[in-house]
Amino acid sequence: MRNPNRYHLLVFSYCVLLFTTVIHLVLSADYVPADKILLNCGANGELSDDDGRQWTSDVGSKFALAGADSIVSEAATQKPSVPTVPYMTGRVFRSEFTYSFPVASGRKFVRLYFYPASYASLNASKGVFSVVFGPYTLLKNFSAYETANNLNFDFITKEYSVNVDSGALNITFTPASGTPDSYAFINGIEIVSHPDIYSSNGNALIVSTSTAFEISNDTVLENVYRLNVGGQAISPSKDTGLFRQWGGDNPYIFGASVGVPVATDPNITISYPTGMPDYVAPVDVYKTARSMGPTPEVNVGYNLSWYFDCDAGFSYLVRLHFCEVGPEISKINQRVFEIFINNQTAETEADVIAWTNKKDVPYYKDYVVFFPSGPPHRDLWLKLHPNTASKPQYYDAILNGVEIFKINASDGNLAGSLPAPAPVQPIIDPNRGISSGKSSKSNKIGIIGGGVGGGVAAVILIGLLVCFVTRKNKKRKDPNSSDGPSGWLPLSLYGNSHSSGSTAKTATTGSYASTLPSNLCRHFSFAEIKSATKNFDESLILGVGGFGKVYKGEIDGGTTKVAIKRGNPLSDQGVNEFQTEIELLSKLRHRHLVSLIGYCEDNNEMILVYDYMANGTLREHLYKTQNQPLTWKQRLEICIGAARGLHYLHTGAKHTIIHRDVKTTNILLDEKWVAKVADFGLSKTGPALDHTHVSTVVKGSFGYLDPEYFRRQQLTDKSDVYSFGVVLFEILCSRPALNPTLPKEQVSLAEWAQHCHKKGILDQIIDPNLKGKISPECFKKVAETAVKCVADQGIDRPSMGDVLWNLEFALQLQESAEDSGGKGAMVLDDGVYDEVPLKGKASNGDYEGDVTDSRSTGMSMSIGGRSLASEDSDGLTPSAVFSQIMNPKGR
């Protein structure tokens, strides 16, 4: 011992280290899985995902069985919402292929990740295959492409819980035999051991019976929904070591009565009872909840209801998570309610405190329901209603979380059919308006959403219809019958494309409505606003506009980021107008509008609190910026989102709402690059039926201003269309709408671009970053659309619905050009874009045809067999059709 002191020090620090590790293990509730494999198929080396998890590649890995016929490939395109890891690379199989994972025995989550893009120049629609685990069929004739299309998701995650007795977990992919040229593919596989938290031990009762359903080692469960009710999405790394993704419940709530999130103190301590492991669900699930609302008279009059699309022919395990976190509730018989699952009584007297004895203590209950075979899609209904018979103190109900699992059928099958909308065929009947019906495919006026692109066309058309439908049918009927509400398309089909953000079904993937319940426009006290903005700290200023300053802020104890807009203090009369405006704004909820969360009018302040948009304004990504230039597809997708938002303002609400200040700084981007239109606070409601304009003081931004509006001081929805046309030129050219430093003829972008378009040289003034990247057809379509938007007379401009249509079409043209490997063919910089054919056209004509056909198939049927695409080039815009559909005056 040369230096005994040093030795002691070493031993001592080693002990400390050991000790702290033990402490950490003891304190940490997280489960430590025996097996944790994250396999990024086709990847080049080790990569970490957005959640910070490390994925290893399957290239040369021991898990991929060698010798089989497979290739690795990168996805040809990346939609803005799609995370790079694990989705951007994949392994593609032309014949059966097995991954084999040596694992410890016990239950595992198997998560499969799919991004339906084109790989190795294969047609994305031919990726049809089965996935098998032992005697269990997880997926059969599965098309990630069509599934994503129908759900309007960008990527798909599937999660299964399987039991492994010993040895290896084998997963086999087989291309469908019925589809010529079919192939199988996979982007990522995750295997995570989990404790046996879903086995029933006789506790899962078949609803409305006293019979227990046995969930044994032989049972494979597929998680189809996992929701943090009344709360926010929880990412896999925030789960309890099991890496489950929890979504919000908003998209699944039925009707207008959505209840209210329970206002809980974010610092409460959730104490798991003995015998219930902490990893059953994370504290964040139990900390937040949804209840019915403060008014007993209202609560007794409705059911707080959710509905979930399910496959017929399967039993489902429904796990409900409860935790009484209401500040006013701590005793038995304060909040007692009934629970109905599929209109059968699951509980007559649910009283969370009676179950747990204390508040802030979690509890869960399992139920099993069976859907006999029949129509392929069924809705699983979950309803809560106050139990008045037991005379509780509050007529209310509460729910904190839901998990729904599909249980394997007796033959080991778990594969269902393609999700809706396939079975739903709304009919446009000129005499009766739109109804849902089961028209046969030969029905001339039915819209068939079956084909590859047909699905897309139907989704878009239906999206537009839904707008109309929702206006006509403010409330969907609550059908207790079997074909129930799936007779109507889920609203989430609208406005949700390229969205989804998070993963698959289990995540909140956005919906027609935005995240905030419409009855919830919060009132903030001035003190709250001051604390949220650190007393209006100048360093938090996001921007300064006509209205005043905009601050970045945090509310709810730092859990929610918001943008806080502070206007100049109001006069007494101003307060009234302000309140009217708030009322109007809070009713406007749409995925592509920035949501108003609340307001503050204390001390005559005029403060608005909005969703915070992490990626700022569209302009920040176009020019005078350090940001990466956006790709052409990103730009198009952003404009499509914005067009949807504007279209909704024009047609979705009771009165036409004219934005009046459409520009690239009023198109904001959230963390997933979803475009949201902002600042419609300036808006005035437009003409109610017979007036065609609203006279008002000229407002808006130069460079975007409708010349007609300027001349006649008349405002129509076409003024917004003009401004939007300027936005389109802006994304093409990446320059400001007005640039006074340029030669006179170039100062106004709208004029200069029109001039160049007339001369056939528009392609010469586009953003150099886009040169060679835009397919000629797509460019032509967007340029034409933009030129039509900035027509001098409002009457010559298309409606926002037409614009949206044309942009969607342009995106399809771009995608099909990219899919057919036509990148090299996108020659734009030589000025002859009109003549340059798409490379894929000759060799792969049928695919190119698919795109046009799908559109025209969908549409032509509604206008009597003539192709819409050709109508359009003949100068007849789709507005002829849409004005029929969209315009209630027309009927």
Ligand X SMILES: *[C@@H]1O[C@H](CO)[C@@H](O)[C@H](O)[C@H]1NC(C)=O
Q: Which is closer to ligand X, CB of 96 or CB of 478?
A: 478
> What's the CA gap between 377 and 228, in Å, rounded?
24
* 116: three-class secondary structure by DSSP: coil
Q: Which is closer to ligand X, CB of 385 or CB of 650?
A: 385
Binding mask 167-206 for ligand X (x = CB under 6 A): ----------------------------------------
- The tokens of 235 are what? 């990412």
> What's the CA gap between 220 and 133, in Å, rounded?
10
Task: Select from 142, 340, 367, 805 the one that contacts ligand X (CB under 6 A).
Answer: 340
Task: Map the footprint of ligand X across residues 794-833, applying CB under 6 A.
Answer: none
Distance between terminal CA atoms of the chain? 99
Which of 644, 678, 675 lies closest to 661, judged by CA? 678
Q: How far is the CB of 410 from ligand X (least distance, A)?
A: 4
Q: Which is closer to ligand X, CB of 135 or CB of 202?
A: 135
User: Which region, judged by CB under 6 A, interacts with ligand X, from 230-238, 402-410, 515-523, 652-660?
Assistant: 402-410
Query: Where do runs of H (alpha helix) occur along 127-210?
Result: 144-151
What is the DSSP code (8-state) at residue 637? H
Q: Which is closer to ligand X, CB of 437 or CB of 479?
A: 479
Long-range Cβ contact pairs of 841-847 (< 8 A, separation 24 or more): 844/820, 847/123, 847/816, 847/819, 847/820
What are the helix and strand counts (H, E) for the chain?
Answer: 19, 40
HSE-up of 299 (CA within 13 Å, CB side)? 24
Q: How far is the CB of 232 from ligand X (least distance, A)?
A: 28
Task: Select from 263, 409, 869, 876 the one that contacts ligand X (CB under 6 A).
Answer: 409
Q: How far is the CB of 384 from ligand X (least distance, A)?
A: 9
Q: How far is the CB of 318 from ligand X (least distance, A)?
A: 15
Peptide bond into 743 cis (omega under 30): no
Task: Select from 78, 408, 617, 775 the one that contacts ligand X (CB under 6 A).
Answer: 408
Identify any residues that bridge with 142 across adjacent strands, giving them in sequence order: 129
Phi, psi (deg, nearest 5) at residue 171: -125, 125
SS3 per residue for 519-541: CCCEECCHHHHHHHCCCCCHHHE
Q: Which is closer to ligand X, CB of 182 or CB of 303?
A: 303
Task: Select from 217, 343, 739, 883 the one that contacts ligand X (CB under 6 A).
Answer: 343
Q: How far is the CB of 194 from ligand X (least distance, A)?
A: 18
Q: Which is closer to ligand X, CB of 315 or CB of 877?
A: 315
Q: Which is closer to ligand X, CB of 208 or CB of 739?
A: 208
Question: Strand runs (DSSP E) across 127-210, as ranges?
Answer: 128-133, 136-143, 156-164, 168-175, 184-186, 188-193, 205-206
Task: Map the footprint of ligand X across residues 274-303, applying CB under 6 A.
Answer: 301-303
Question: Strand runs (DSSP E) across 229-302, as ranges?
Answer: 247-248, 260-261, 290-291
Residue type, 143: S
Peptide bond into 375 cis (omega under 30): no
What is the DSSP code (8-state) at residue 502? S
What is the DSSP code (8-state) at residue 309? E
Task: Select from 110, 117, 407, 810 the one that contacts ligand X (CB under 6 A).
Answer: 407
User: How are beta strands 89-93 and 128-133 bridged, if at all?
Assistant: unpaired
In the block, tokens 């006789």 appear at 202
Task: Select from 126, 226, 335, 385 the one that contacts ligand X (CB under 6 A).
Answer: 385
Site size with ligand X, rule: CB under 6 A: 16
For 572, other C-beta atoms within 10 Å of its C-beta total 7
Binding mask 123-142 for ligand X (x = CB under 6 A): ------------x-------
> What's the CA gap between 861 and 846, in Å, rounded?
21
Q: How far is the CB of 372 from ligand X (least distance, A)?
A: 14
Q: Known catalytic residue: 249?
A: no
> What's the CA gap between 182 and 122, in Å, rounded?
9
> What's the CA gap between 683 and 679, in Å, rounded?
8
User: Which region, judged by CB under 6 A, interacts with ligand X, from 162-170, 403-411, 457-465, 564-572?
Assistant: 403-411
Q: Which is closer to ligand X, CB of 170 or CB of 179?
A: 170
- Cα four-point dihedral sign 543, 545, 551, 552: negative
Q: Which is closer to ligand X, CB of 344 or CB of 883?
A: 344
Residue nearest to ligand X (CB): 412
633 lies in the site for ligand X, by CB under 6 A: no
Measured CA distances, 429 to 70, 414, 437, 861, 871 (Å): 49, 38, 11, 12, 21
Task: Select from 46, 69, 218, 577 the one that contacts ligand X (CB under 6 A).
Answer: 218
Identify any residues that bridge with 425 across adjacent strands, giving them in sequence order: 437, 438
Task: Select from 219, 356, 844, 877 the one that contacts ligand X (CB under 6 A).
Answer: 219
Q: Which is closer to ligand X, CB of 257 or CB of 492?
A: 257
User: Which region, judged by CB under 6 A, interacts with ligand X, from 49-57, 409-417, 442-450, 689-697?
Assistant: 409-417
> What's the CA gap between 216 and 387, in Å, rounded?
34
> What's the CA gap between 163 and 218, in Å, rounded?
7
Q: Which is closer to ligand X, CB of 224 or CB of 607?
A: 224
Q: How far is the CB of 220 from ligand X (least distance, A)?
A: 6
Q: Which is closer to ligand X, CB of 343 or CB of 417?
A: 343
Binding mask 62-101 for ligand X (x = CB under 6 A): ----------------------------------------
- The tokens of 195 are what? 């404790």
Residue 726 makes CB contacts below 8 A (sequence gap 6+) with: 663, 703, 704, 737, 749, 750, 789, 790
For 161, other C-beta atoms within 10 Å of its C-beta total 21
Q: How far is the CB of 193 from ligand X (least distance, A)?
A: 20
Residue type, 184: A
Task: Map the footprint of ligand X across residues 475-534, applying CB under 6 A.
Answer: 480
Q: Which of 309, 379, 661, 679 is catalytic?
A: 661
Q: Which is closer to ligand X, CB of 397 or CB of 675?
A: 397
For 684, other C-beta atoms within 10 Å of its C-beta total 18
What is the DSSP code (8-state) at residue 874? T
Q: How far is the CB of 424 from ligand X (least distance, A)?
A: 22
Task: Map the footprint of ligand X across residues 412-451, applying CB under 6 A.
Answer: 412
Q: How far is the CB of 215 from ligand X (least distance, A)?
A: 8
Whether 433 and 472 have beta carbons less than 8 Å apart is answered as yes
Q: How far is the CB of 302 from ligand X (least distance, A)?
A: 5
Task: Select from 5, 210, 410, 573 the one that contacts ligand X (CB under 6 A).
Answer: 410
Q: How far is the CB of 591 from ligand X (least distance, A)?
A: 28
Q: How far is the CB of 674 from ligand X (least distance, A)?
A: 34
Long-range Cβ contact pairs of 704-712 (< 8 A, separation 24 or more): 704/661, 704/662, 704/663, 704/737, 706/794, 707/792, 708/792, 708/793, 708/794
Provide the annotated active-site residues: 661
Question: Residue numbers of the site for ligand X (CB under 6 A)?
Answer: 135, 218-219, 301-303, 340, 343, 383, 385, 407-410, 412, 480
